[in-house]
Structure 1
Amino acid sequence: MGTCMFAHRGLSAQYPENTLAAFQAAADAGADGIELDVQLSKDLQAVVIHDHSLERTTTGTGFVKEYELQQLKEFDAGSWFAPPFANETIPALADVLTWAKGNQLLLNIELKGQVWERSQLKEAVLPLVFEHELQERVIFSSFDHRLIYEIQKQEPQLETAILVAAALHEPERYLRDIGVRGYHFRVPFLLQEEAVRLQQHGVQLRPYTVNDPYWVEMFVKWGCAGLFTDDPVMALQLRKKYEG
């Protein structure tokens, strides 16, 4: 397959992000996987939304953590993007995992809770993945590297990755210390020579968020394990062109 193309928050260039409509559109477009963001509701349920506050992508106000799951589901999570999507709601992670049983997509679940919510977030998310028997298709990532370390220690069979928004010094040593294979780096904080060295150490490189065709083609040529893009249709076309 080469470089796996992950639809960032679903097919978010054309659909409201982190909704089932965006995820289904990504599947229909031929994406290899989807990326989604997960945090906790007031009643400690795993919900799929990027921002900690509700205003940008829903009709709600205030913070996600101030509402229980059923209250969050009452908000419109689509009309901000375009009126035809007014019926879209904030999905529970369980809703997305149930949907994913009907396809073969990889699922990159970015964990976005506060650092003091680590244990609660793990307890809300990990059992769901095993209940839906999707552990072979899930990658957990987070900017909270301590959380990723704890998940890796608890469930070493799961694939995990750290998210970074800077150029790290000797990231291969850091990854080895954590015991994690996935390195999800922000474009453009990596040189090709550094990428080669990381790949020689067995690191899975997946840059984000790659929407420029120049960068897509470059990362495919580098042999990155995957990349995250708002426009997987474009990315898939470029991969096909390069890989034949």
Structure 2
Amino acid sequence: MNNTCEIFAHRGSSIDHPENTMAAFQAAYEIGADGIEFDVQLTKDLVPVVIHDETLDRTTTGYGLVSDHTKEQLKTLDAGTWFDTQYADESIPTLEEVLVWASDKFIKLNIELKGHVNQRESLIQKVIPMIQTYQLERHVILSSFDHVCIKEVKKLAPEMEAAAIVTAALHEPLTYLRSLGVEGYHYMSPLLLKEEAGVLIDAGVHIRPYTVNEEDMLRRYIQWGCAGIFTDHPKLALTIRDEK
């Protein structure tokens, strides 16, 4: 198997822990995941916090928009009980909490930038200096479905890897990615044919499919030579990758 393919735990080890919580991140680290993937957006008082949905309803005891609440308000919510009552003490992490946790660990952080376009500039201005403060520039990938945002990231922090996320196959993806100046292409599995993937890999693009949970698909993408894979099952993916 291709042992250079990095396994990213999607929202942490989310198959057996509440997604985007410190418990899920710690579990992914303990099983040996190469990286964790998580989502960041801004609170009402412009604090970057880790939560996937724009609304609180699905994964917390709160309701309404994340951006309508302050950090202090969000910190009163339970972000674990929806998954299992044993995680009742889990809260919504701030980005800073995750960076502090990661600062003494050998683990990559794929930070997906989310939120409304009118918060784009504020989000970038908050996230990039925070990463630099903890000297994690070389351990971070900044990704987004907002390609305007990700192009701006590369202007402001060219030393950080950035990636465009897509949900549809692109025409001439290499040309497009080079126009953005990004290194990474995070595509919804299975949008690429093997030969298309090969062209991108040969050109030095870091391709990483998401969210890959089936054993046969994990094995396929590892064999292709993908730079990484996002999965809810990091333990399974690591077992397959490390097969002799």
TM category, shorter: over 0.9
Counterpart residue number, 2:221: 219
Shift of 1:154: 1.4
3-state SS of paired residue (2:159): coil
3-state SS of paired residue (1:140): strand
Counterpart residue number, 1:107: 109
* 1:175 correspondence with 2:191: no
Shift of 1:26: 0.2
* Structure 2 residue identity aligned to 1:68: T
Counterpart residue number, 2:154: 152
Mapped to 2, the partners of 1:118 and 1:165 lie a distance apart of 20
* Structure 2 residue identity aligned to 1:205: I
Q: Which residues of structure 1 form unaligned runs of 5+?
A: none
Q: Which residues of structure 2 form unaligned runs of 5+?
A: none
Query: Which stretch shows the higher mean deviation, 196-205 or 77-86?
Result: 196-205
Counterpart residue number, 1:15: 17
Shift of 1:153: 1.2
Instruction: Report matched runs for 1:86-97 at 5 Å.
Output: 86-97=88-99
Deviations 1:126-151 (A, max 9, x none): 11100111111000000000100011
Counterpart residue number, 1:231: 233
Mapped to 1, the partners of 2:167 and 2:158 lie a distance apart of 25
Counterpart residue number, 1:54: 56
Deviations 1:34-63 (A, max 9, x none): 001000000000000000000100000111
* Structure 2 residue identity aligned to 1:199: I
Deviations 1:72-123 (A, max 9, x none): 0100000000000000000000000000012110000000111111110011
Instruction: Say what the alpha-carbon RMSD is for the aligned residues.
Output: 0.6
Mapped to 2, the partners of 1:126 and 1:43 lie a distance apart of 17
Mapped to 1, the partners of 2:103 and 2:122 lie a distance apart of 25
3-state SS of paired residue (2:59): coil
3-state SS of paired residue (1:34): strand
Mapped to 2, the partners of 1:28 and 1:133 lie a distance apart of 22
* Structure 1 residue identity aligned to 2:161: E
Instruction: Report matched runs for 1:176-195 at 5 Å.
Output: 176-195=178-197
Mapped to 1, the partners of 2:111 and 2:201 lie a distance apart of 22
* 1:81 correspondence with 2:83: yes
Mapped to 2, the partners of 1:202 and 1:169 lie a distance apart of 18
3-state SS of paired residue (1:75): coil
Runs of 4+ with deviation above 3 angstroms: none
Identity %: 52
Q: TM-score, normalised on structure 1?
A: 0.98
